[in-house]
Amino acid sequence: MKPPPLRYLRAHDPEEAVELLAEYGDEAKVIAGGQSLVPLLNFRLARPSVLVDIGAVTPWATLVSGDRSLELGALTTHLRIERAGGTEPFRGLEVLPRTASLIGHLPIRSRGTIGGSLAHGDPAAEWCILAVLLDAEATLCSGRGERRVPLTRLLQGFFTTTIAPDEVLTAVTFPRTGAAASLVEHAPRHGDFALVAAAAAAEPADGVCRRPRIVLGGVGPTPVRVPDAEDVLAGRALTPDVVAAAAAAAAAAVDPPSDAHASSAHRRRLVATLVTRALTHVGGRAREGRAA
């Protein structure tokens, strides 16, 4: 199918983008890489009467690397992050380039943006999971000004966020915590969305885990943190027994949905397997003294 008739407006700078969104409100939708929105338009699952293309708003493609955080402009593509592996801005945040390569296929990664992924709010999306894992914050801008929101508060449910119709997500900021981190997933075919994804992070201290975090994707309406499993890890070394106990606690704590792709029981088994893998990676990185 083809999209319904709509007006296409291209913003050239942040001010113009914000003005257009203020003018058209909930009649309008932002388009960035188009990799999620265009299929929704073609299936007529989204029916905006105006598209505001922000692709030319170059200030929103900027990367700001500081000692304590890395700010990625919303228009940073998945591919740019993937190709930045090993570079200084991603020091301590190597999990971002490593994970980017899991997203879709090359043409999708070369157009799709991190801001689009977070604004789309798919609970199995890699950026949504990592943003929750690593306590990232989104910067949102509108005619009313700018606000910063932790991703845990931005992501509200399946494809639902707290971004207002006249707001645009301009950047996402990842703190450099020194944690070792990993995201692993299971997808039926390479490039498909993950059935289940598991991400883990921990700050290594004297051979034991500090501030352990486990976040799962594909098991609920948003990325899900699993405090029951994190409690198993706190203050303990990541030995195989401890990892197995945390993985079992994670599987017991979730109630994943059944759908055409997988039953709830299958997803639960995947949780146990993937949490084990993610924690094993984290343990390995921590032993090598390497952060995220």
Q: SS3 sequence, 58-103?
A: HHHHCEEECCCEEEEECCCEHHHHHHCCCCHHHCCCCHHHHHHCCC
CA distance 62 to 43: 32
- Number of residues forming the site for ligand FAD (CB under 6 A): 28
Is 61 a residue that touches ligand FAD (CB under 6 A)? no
Closest to ligand FAD by CB, 34 or 220: 34
Hey, which residues between 218 and 277 contact ligand FAD (CB under 6 A)?
Answer: none
102-110, 243-251, 256-264, 272-280 -> range binding ligand FAD (CB under 6 A): 102-110
C-beta of residue 142 within 8 angstroms of C-beta of residue 20: no
Is 177 a residue that touches ligand FAD (CB under 6 A)? no
C-beta of residue 145 within 8 angstroms of C-beta of residue 61: no
Hey, which residues between 4 and 33 contact ligand FAD (CB under 6 A)?
Answer: 29-33
Hey, which residues between 64 and 83 contact ligand FAD (CB under 6 A)?
Answer: 74
Which residue in 97, 115, 212, 218 binds ligand FAD (CB under 6 A)?
115
Which residue in 34, 175, 220, 257 binds ligand FAD (CB under 6 A)?
34
Percent composition of the chain: helix, strand, coil (DSSP 3-state, to 5): 35, 25, 35
Shortest Å, Cβ 201 to ligand FAD: 19
Which residues, listed in sequence order, are joined to residue 70 by a DSSP beta bridge? 65, 174
Closest to ligand FAD by CB, 35 or 173: 35
- How far is the CA of 95 from the CAs of 101, 196, 241, 282, in angstroms? 10, 18, 25, 10
| Residues lying near ligand FAD in the complex (CB under 6 A) | 29-37, 39, 54, 74, 103-104, 108, 112-113, 115-117, 119-120, 125-126, 163, 168-169, 193
